[in-house]
Structures are given as C-alpha cells and as structure tokens.
Amino acid sequence: MKTTKSVLATTIAILASSNVLAQPTSTPVIEEVLVTAQKRTERLLDVPMSITAVTAAELSDAGIGSTGDLQQIVPGLTTVNNGLGFVPVIRGVSSQGTSPGDESNVSIYLDDVYLGAPMAGLFDLADIERVEVLKGPQGTLFGRNATGGAIRIVTRKPAFEPQANASVDYGFDYNEWKTSLFVTGPLSEKVAASLSGTYRSSDGYIDGIGPNEGREYGDPDNHLIRGKLLFQATDNLEMTLAADTMKAKNDTIATVWPPKGSDPIPGAIPSQPFKYAGSTQPKQDLEGKSVSLDATWNSDAVTVRSITAYRDMDLEYQADVDRSSAPGFALNLTQYQENLSQEFNFSGATGSINWLAGLYYYDSEAGNPHWTVFSGDAPDGTKVSSFTSQVDTSSYAGFGEVTWDTTDKLHFTLGARYTSETKEFRYRTLLNNSVNLKDKETWTSPTYRGVVRYDLSDDSNVYLSLSNGFKSGVYDAYSSLGIPVDPEEVDALEIGAKTRVRGITLTAAAYAYEYDDIQVSSFATVNNVVVLSLTNAASAEMRGLELTADGPITDSLSFNFGVNWAETAEFKEFENAQVTQPISGATGPVVAQVVAPYDASGSRIPRTPEWTANLGFTHVMPLFDGELSSNVSAFFSPGFYWQVGDYTKEPSYETVAARISWTDPSGRLTYSLWGTNLTDSDNSVYRVPNVRGDSSVATQGRQIGIGVALDF
C-alpha cells in the first residue's frame, strides 16, 4: 500500500513538469456552474444543500470512466460493487440489499429518470454533460430511496448546430481500449438528433492458476449506445425522445479470493490475491435497454413537464463459492427488472414566490427466474437448492415545494411529499416445491423539507435545512420467510455556508442525522425458531463536517479540494446483528470463522471511513501555438469496516490519476498521456465475510496510456 507521501510526490512531480515552461496567460474567467438539483436551473453557489457538480472535462481529467469511479472526485462518497449491483454510500447511509425489488437508498437518476435496480446503477459514462451528487435526504423532490442522497447524471442534448466528438484511448498495462463517439445536428428546422456510444475492453488483471492456467480474468467487454431526437414543435413546446442499449461483461466481481496464505479446501489449489483457481468459471453479464420521452411546455404563468420512461435490465451471475480448484459448491443465478415511470411537474413564479408541484408513478416487476446452488461446478453440477422469486412494486406520490423570497436576502423553502407504495411478493422452491408462498404489503410515507437561506452578498450565503427521507419497504427475495420489512427513515439537520473569494469558491456544511428502522440482516425468532432474517433491527446516528474549495490559484493554475469528516457514524442500537468472526484459538491454513449473533450497538457503520479527501490541480499553458493542459487528482481514505461490529477492516489507501494533454492550434485535435491508479493501490472493490476466510476482489493496478480526441 502506497503512503500519503508518495501521493504528494506524484502530484508535485506532475505539476512541476507543467510549470517548467509556464508562461503568463490571460486573467481566468469564472464560469458559473449551473445545476438543476431543485428541478430548476440555478447557480451551484445558490443551492442551499451540499452538492458536488462535475463536468465532462473534469471526469475525463480524473480518469473517471464509470459511476463506480466517482469517489475519486466527490467528497463523502464511497462506491461499492457488491457483486449484484452498485451500492453507493453517502455520509454513512447505504444499503447492502441487491435482491429483486430491493433498491439502494442513494437514488441514481439518468436524465431525471430513476434507474431503480442496483444492477442498473453501475455503467460506463458516455456523452456526459455533468454529474450532480446531492448529499443528504432528498425525500421531497426525489422521493423514495433518496435517504442518503441522489446521483444525477445529465447527458448531452441534441443540437441544431452540427458537431461531433470522437476519442480513442489505449492503456499499455492491460491492453485496454476505450472509444467514444458523439454526433449531433439538425434533421429539419424543428428536429435535431444525436447519436453517442462508448466501448471498453481489456485483458484481465487476474491470472488463472491450477485448472485455469493460461486464462485471464477481470477483462471487461462493455458497450453503450444512446440516441436522441429533439423536437421543437413550437416556441413553447419541446420534446426529447431518447433510447439506449448496453451490455457489460465483466467477471471481476465473481472472481473472489480468500485471504493470502489461507486454504479453504485442504488438498485443493486455493485462489490467491490476483490469481484465480476456481473450478467454476466466473460470470457477470448485464444487458439493458431503455426508452424515454421528456416533454416541456412553457407559458408566461406556468411550465409543465412530463417524463415517461421504461427500462429493462437482465443479469446472469455465476461464481465458485469455495474459491478453490475443488469441485465444491457454486452459485448460478439470473435476475431481471422491468420498470415504468411517469412524472408530471408544474412550476412557476408569482411575485416573490417560486413554486413547484408534481405527481409521480412507478411500476416495477423484478425477480430471480432461478437462484441455484450446485454441489460441484456450475452449471453442470448437482443442484443442492434452487428457487424462483418475484417482487412487483406500484408506487404513487404527490409533492410540492415553495420558495418565498421575503426580501432580496432572506429566502424560505418548504416542501412535502406523500408516497403510497404496494409490494407483492412470490417465492417458490424449484427442486421439491416444498415452499410456495405469496404476500402483499402497502406502506405510506410522508416526507418534508424546510430551508432558510440568507444572502450575505451576491456570492455569499448561509443556510439551515431540515429534511427527511425514506427507503422503501421491502421483501427479502432471497428468503422463503416472506416477511415484509418496513421503510427506513432519516431525519437530517444541515447548516452550511457558501462563498466566492477572489474567484475561489468555498463551501462548508455541518450535518447531523437520526437514522431509524434500518433494514439489516439479524437473528430473530420466527415461529419459535431463531433464524437469520432481514428486519428493521437497527438505529444509528451520524455527525460530520464537509469542506470544499475550488478555483484559480494563478492565471494558469487552478485547484479543487474536498474533505468529509464523518466524526460519528455508529449504531445506537443493533442487537443480534449478523457477524462473521474468528473462532477463538483456531490456527492453521484453514481460516475458521463462525456466523453468530452479536450486539453491534456502538460499532461503526460499515463502509463509512472516518474521513475522506479529494485533491486536484489543473495547469494550462500555451505550447507550440497550441495548449498544454496537465491535471492530477488524488483520493485519500483511512479505510473502513466491511461488516458491523468493527470487523473486516479495509486498510487505508490512496489513488491518483493524471492526464497531460496537448491541443493543436486548430483546437480540434488533442493528444494525451494519462495514468490511473498511479499509487498501484490494491484496495478492495468488494469484500464479504466467509466462514473459511473473507472473500474479496481488489481494484485493477496502475495503468499508463495514451489517447487522441477529435472535435469536428
């Protein structure tokens, strides 16, 4: 593991290489960052909440290629792929559930369409305009499953002026190819179109051993294609029709290994860090498609917006459970989710009042066509257990928010939302039909938001907000118990300040959360039998501070900095928690652990570092009649625990990405030299406790590459 000193040395070296030829340039112009975090266009500086907005150029400079990389530049965000889905963590609020019908409590939106299934949240980024990460409960405007916050991904719209962008990047260390394309232009006076796509493939970074000698794993083969039609029917009516299709094949998460030096199955060849010996071939194949229609009608009095969307996702997953060459146990499953959503927004302004009201409908069908454990190898071994399950969801909501500008400086915001949600659960065993059950439950959840903002000047303000959010009630679709689990709820207080001094934007936010009815796996008594079940068994509290700064240092050098200090993130109450802990006195290469009940009250919330920090610099200078741009970004984490009870510790780690680019005098052709994970960190992207040693997968190592981009 590299040290902080090595990270700073890398940063200084890259910046020094730019400053050798540095020349004075013109006074920097501050470009206002505009966001739509409150469903209206505002300056980032004026939004009374903690929010990080990242442009497409900043994503490229930081080596961000997918949603899973966003923690590199977003303070307070931890990204986790737990095998069956993307589970982001914001300020300690997250979910571990990935069963059908269960959804993350950090909601993800693509062009204002809720993605729903955790498996839909991890994807390569293409034709991006910006990414907004909203921190804290967003229960009023975004509703269900935004207790931790929301990640809003905004893609580029079609334009009536013809333009195109193409890029190709090649990474030497893993023979990685990344290509992207965006083309847009008019089809008629009223219709414009765009087509975009991205493709990524590489060799694996995990070597096969034992029966897999000569093979490689961790080799992605991903593509995404998106098309849009923009129809400006009248001066007041605009409609955008969008469709996309994607495929992602990546066996990394299924290629788990036990701790170094351990031997889960004596006599067999165990997998090792970055070496896979499993007798079952790993698989994680994801396919998806979607279509949406976004229509906006404007008048002098009101703006009406309708967003209609459909999305279909399918996943096939296969993994070797015993993590060795022995034909022990294997898992094979398929999972799907189809969802349809409809949102209507009505907004306007009357004198000193800005208002917004809306209606929302969400319908989803999610399930496992089969979930099968094999004795031997999958898919040809002997089936030990197999089941199918399905969760149908129907959700309705009405919401509104009003902002009253009492004076030029003082602003009050009040918002509320009411949600009614029904889930129907089905579960059936496939081997002997011993279990065949159905159940249904309805929940109602009111949420609120109140904000006071005071403008100290045009570029400075302070604010106080009280907000509330909830995570939907759920059935554990992996369990035959059929017990409905009630919604989670978060109440949050945030006090913040934002200002701009000599071009540098500074923000500070202190927050305090009360987190109740947390959906966790715990031991409970059901029908006089102690079982492991998903229940509302925990409550927690969070206290923290977040600071950010960004802007120009000189005419040619700018920076960005962010730190999140999660001083308190612990369970107030969590008795009978599920914990996998070492057996006292056990020795030898066979790691001996046991799953047991544990009082985790007072322990830290998993996957929540005590602090994280992000630091980046960008230097721009003229060179050979063109422009040389150098960027470096660093992420720091002191580590965290993967499970409750302060067990399964992830060590501290640091990652650095850098890019040096030269753009020719025409401004159209750009050549780049880039590097990702320059510290060669081996931090885990996924880790799960196991009775014979924890299973984990580490991130891909250091990679250096080159790239070329063309604007035409």
Q: Tell whether the torsion through CA atoms of 196, 141, 49 and 408 is positive or negative.
A: positive
Query: Is the CB of residue 43 less than 8 Å from the CB of residue 574?
Result: no
Q: For residue 139, what are its two tokens?
A: 């229960």
CB atoms < 10 A from the CB of 443, how many? 18
What residue ranges in 406-503 does DSSP mark as E strands? 410-429, 436-457, 460-471, 474-475, 484-485, 488-501
pLDDT at 530: 66
pLDDT of residue 24: 39
Query: Which pLDDT score, from 0 to 100, does residue 433 have?
Result: 81
- Grouping H, G, I as helix, E, B as strand and the rest as coil, residue 524 is strand
What are the CA-CA distances from residue 266 to residues 277, 586, 590, 658 (Å)? 14, 15, 7, 44
What's the one-letter identity of residue 582? P
- Amino acid (1-letter code) at residue 32: E
pLDDT value for 17: 41
State the pLDDT at residue 252: 86
The answer to whether 449 and 467 are in contact (CB under 8 A) is yes
**pLDDT given for residue 589 in this prediction:** 58
In order of start, what are the domains of the chain with their CATH numbers? 4-187+199-703 (2.40.170.20)
DSSP single-letter state for residue 690:
-
Would you say the C-alpha torsion 545, 546, 552, 558 has a positive or negative sign?
positive
Count CA atoms within 13 Å of residue 707 on its CB side: 29
DSSP category for residue 247: E
The span from the CA of 477 to the CA of 483, in Å, is: 10
Whether residue 320 contacts residue 253, with contact meaning beta carbons closer than 8 Å, is answered with: no
Ranges in the chain, pLDDT < 70 = 1-30, 83, 524-527, 529-530, 583-592
Residue 590: what pLDDT? Answer: 56
Evaluate whether 692 touches 590 at the Cβ level (below 8 Å).
Answer: yes
Query: Which residue(s) pair with 416 in the sheet?
Result: 400, 448
Residue 28: enclosing H or E segment and its boundaries? Answer: none
Long-range contacts of 344-352 (CB under 8 A, 24+ apart): 344/304, 344/305, 344/306, 345/39, 345/303, 345/304, 345/305, 345/306, 345/307, 346/302, 346/303, 346/304, 346/305, 347/39, 347/40, 347/302, 347/303, 347/305, 348/301, 348/302, 348/303, 352/404, 352/405, 352/406
Compute CA distances 593 → 583, 692, 694, whole Å: 5, 6, 9
Residue 132 near residue 154 (C-beta atoms within 8 A): yes
Q: Compute the Cα dihedral for 665, 197, 149, 361 and give only its sign.
A: positive
Token duo for residue 433:
């039909």
d(C-alpha 277, C-alpha 212), whole Å: 6
By CB atoms closer than 10 A (0-12, 13-18, 19+), residue 502 is exposed
Q: How far apart are CA 29 and CA 13, in angstroms?
A: 27
Which amino acid is it at 253? Answer: I
Q: Residue ranges of the alpha helices (H) in 212-345?
A: none
